[in-house]
């Protein structure tokens, strides 16, 4: 059994902290870890389930570990609401699915102080076996429009 040691906090920090700086070496290490994880994900369903649960836990921890001050500081930096919850949908309609032989589709759900519980902002991400990620979201476009 292969246990993946994923260190994803810095990747989520990059998504949510516009002031973050990082080195080339840290990017290469993140890429190495991602490629190692992808190899396992595309081999076995159990590995995919484990990977996605780790991603979800890292997202949850990233937001829950932010202090109240950090959450309030996030709002003027980003122009969006104060972050409350960040999760990867693991079940139901938005659960990760293998979209093709070389890609998984997953949905990131984000709540700020303006969202009601059943209505998070959603961001669809495609994870490709080659190691690339792409994303799109009508919710993100709506957030940007609301901001202007």
pLDDT at position 125 over 70:
yes
Position 4 in a domain: no
18-37 core/surface letters (b: 16 or more CB in 10 A; e: else): eeeeeeeeeeeebeebbeeb
Position 139 in a domain: yes
pLDDT at 23: 57
61-85 core/surface letters (b: 16 or more CB in 10 A; e: else): ebbeebeeeebeebeeebebbbbbe
For the segment 16-63, what is each residue's pLDDT rounded down to a tens digit? 444 444 556 666 777 777 777 778 888 888 888 888 998 899 888 888
Position 141 in a domain: yes
Task: Give the residue with greater pLDDT, 145 vs 52.
Answer: 52
Position 1 in a domain: no
State the virtual CA torsion across 9, 11, 15, 19 in degrees, nearest 10. Answer: 90
Position 2 in a domain: no
pLDDT at position 144 over 70:
no
pLDDT at 96: 92
Q: How many folded domains does the chain comprise?
A: 1
pTM across the whole model = 0.65
Position 3 in a domain: no
pLDDT at 7: 47
pLDDT at 38: 79
pLDDT at 92: 93
For the segment 66-99, what is each residue's pLDDT rounded down to a tens digit? 888 888 887 777 666 788 888 999 999 999 998 8
For residues 30 and 8, what is the distance between their CA atoms, to the nearest angstrom?
8
Range of the domain at 127: 9-147
């Amino acid at each position: 059994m292969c246990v993946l040691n994923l260190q994803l906090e810095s990747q989520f920090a990059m998504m949510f902290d516009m002031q973050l700086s990082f080195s080339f070496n840290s990017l290469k290490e993140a890429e190495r870890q991602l490629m190692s994880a992808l190899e396992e994900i595309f081999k076995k369903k159990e590995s995919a389930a484990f990977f996605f649960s780790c991603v979800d836990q890292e997202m949850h921890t990233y937001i829950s570990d932010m202090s109240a001050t950090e959450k309030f500081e996030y709002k003027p930096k980003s122009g969006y609401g104060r972050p409350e919850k960040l999760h990867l949908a693991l079940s139901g309609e938005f659960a990760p699915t293998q979209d093709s032989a070389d890609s998984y589709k997953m949905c990131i759900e984000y709540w700020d102080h303006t969202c009601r519980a059943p209505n998070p902002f959603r961001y669809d991400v495609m994870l490709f076996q080659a190691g690339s990620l792409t994303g799109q979201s009508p919710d993100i476009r709506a957030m940007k429009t609301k901001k202007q």
